[in-house]
Amino acid sequence: MNISDFSAEQIAGQRLMVGFEGTGLTRELMFLIDTLKVGGIILFTRNIKNPGQIKNLCKSAQDYARSCGQPPLIISIDQEGGQVARLKEPFTQFPGNPAMKSEEDAAGYAETTASELLEVGINMNMAPVMDVAQEGAGSVMSGRIFGSDPYWVSKMGVMVIERFQSRKLMAVAKHFPGIGRTVLDSHLELPAFDAELTEMESFDLIPFEAAIRHNVSGVMLSHILYVKIDSEWPASLSKRIAKELLRDCMGYDGIVMTDDLDMGAIKNHYEIETSIRQILSAGIDMALICHAGSDIEFSFEEILKSIHDSKEIKMDAEKSVSRIMRHKEKYLL
């Protein structure tokens, strides 16, 4: 599909990745696809019963999108292993990143996980975690990271990215520019981190630089306030971090997405209108809204309104959708 043929509604909808209720092609999911024209959906345990049901759900959603003249959907999930694994048995259960002791461990996890996800119709995994934490620092991410050495994290993460993507499963490096050295949980509150950018460049950013060099499909922004980089906005809403640092300085041209806007770090501090306007001004490609509710439709309407009202926002939106479509054409068509 050519971006020049997209309606304003399609351009707006492609910039949303959303959660939903139910385990099949419900009226709610149909509305998200045919009316809001969302670019992607994300699955949680509430959407999962067994492999056959997941496969039917994914196929039904893709078939419905096709019947509506929509591009194929990104269908994503968090399947890191260990603490964060939405798919339980009979899917293979891995102990998680801290338990991986070799590149062979990472390759085994990635190959098996890619095969199992693709078999049921999931085409994006919100992994690998590329955060780094200093030993004994009490990191909120201690149970989900590869380790405390940024070069080891880079090596392991790159192995996962390459094995996923060589099999046509999109990988997402998270949580940019790094939350390994924070102790508060952004699911609940808005953490602040006061390291200088130069300090982060020699530690936190190293794995993300490696992920970018190896063409990772997506980068997820964190809900952390990096006060020495942008004292006003958390990374997921920050032009300085998403555009100036990630895009302009580090040269990333894949899909940039927020973490879930329903998390406390954002929900407790910003109205959804404010969040969407910041996302648009920062040139972030996809807003992730993981829970069903009015925020999804409101976000669509706000993006659509901004496209109509601002030539600059419209041009940025077309660039974002071009990036999204480039990955859909590479991995889904």
Own/partner long-range contacts of 43-50 (Cβ < 8 Å, ≥24 apart): 43/19, 43/75, 43/76, 43/77, 43/86, 43/122, 44/19, 44/77, 44/86, 44/290, 45/86, 46/21, 46/22, 47/20, 47/21, 47/22, 47/23, 48/23, 48/86, 48/87, 49/23, 50/90
Segments forming the whole domain that contains residue 101: 16-331
Band of residue 139 on the pLDDT scale cut at 50, 70, 90: confident
What secondary structure letter does DSSP report for 77? E
CB-count exposure of residue 135 (10 Å: 0-12, 13-18, 19+): exposed
Contact 295, 261 (CB under 8 A): yes
- Residue 175 lies inside a defined structural domain of this protein: yes
Of 185 and 181, the one with more pLDDT: 181
- Residue 314 lies inside a defined structural domain of this protein: yes
Of 36 and 180, the one with more pLDDT: 36
- Residue 118 lies inside a defined structural domain of this protein: yes
- Residue 203 lies inside a defined structural domain of this protein: yes
State the chain's mean pLDDT as an integer: 96
Model pLDDT for residues 71-90, shown as the tens digit of each residue: 999 999 999 999 999 999 99
Quick check: 4 pLDDT over 90?
A: no
Quick check: 188 pLDDT over 80?
A: no
For residue 284, give the 3-state DSSP assignment. coil
**CA-to-CA distance for 313 and 305, rounded, in angstroms?**
10
The type of residue at 273 is: E
CATH number, domain of 103, equals 3.20.20.300
Looking at the annotation, which residues are catalytic?
187, 259
Inter-axis angle of helices 272-281 and 311-331, to 10 degrees? 80
- Residue 3 lies inside a defined structural domain of this protein: no
Report how many domains make up the chain: 1
Model pLDDT for residues 88-119, shown as the tens digit of each residue: 999 999 999 999 999 999 999 999 999 999 99
Q: In the structure encoding, which two tokens stand for residue 198, read together?
A: 């130069």
Inter-axis angle of helices 27-34 and 51-67, to 10 degrees? 40
- Residue 231 lies inside a defined structural domain of this protein: yes
Band of residue 181 on the pLDDT scale cut at 50, 70, 90: confident
**71 prior amide bond cis, ω within 30:** no
**CA-to-CA distance for 160 and 99, rounded, in angstroms?**
14
- Residue 2 lies inside a defined structural domain of this protein: no
Quick check: 48 pLDDT over 80?
A: yes
Which pLDDT belongs to residue 164?
Answer: 98
Which pLDDT belongs to residue 182?
Answer: 83
Quick check: 179 pLDDT over 90?
A: yes
C-beta atoms surrounding 77 within 10 Å: 24
Percent of the chain residues past pLDDT 70, beyond the cut: 100
- Residue 219 lies inside a defined structural domain of this protein: yes
Nearest-5° Cα angle at 93, 92 to 96: 135
**CA-to-CA distance for 193 and 184, rounded, in angstroms?**
10
Average confidence (pLDDT) over 313-321? 96
Band of residue 138 on the pLDDT scale cut at 50, 70, 90: confident
Model pLDDT for residues 258-271, shown as the tens digit of each residue: 999 999 889 999 99
Model pLDDT for residues 147-164, shown as the tens digit of each residue: 999 999 999 999 999 999
Band of residue 137 on the pLDDT scale cut at 50, 70, 90: confident
Which pLDDT belongs to residue 2?
Answer: 81
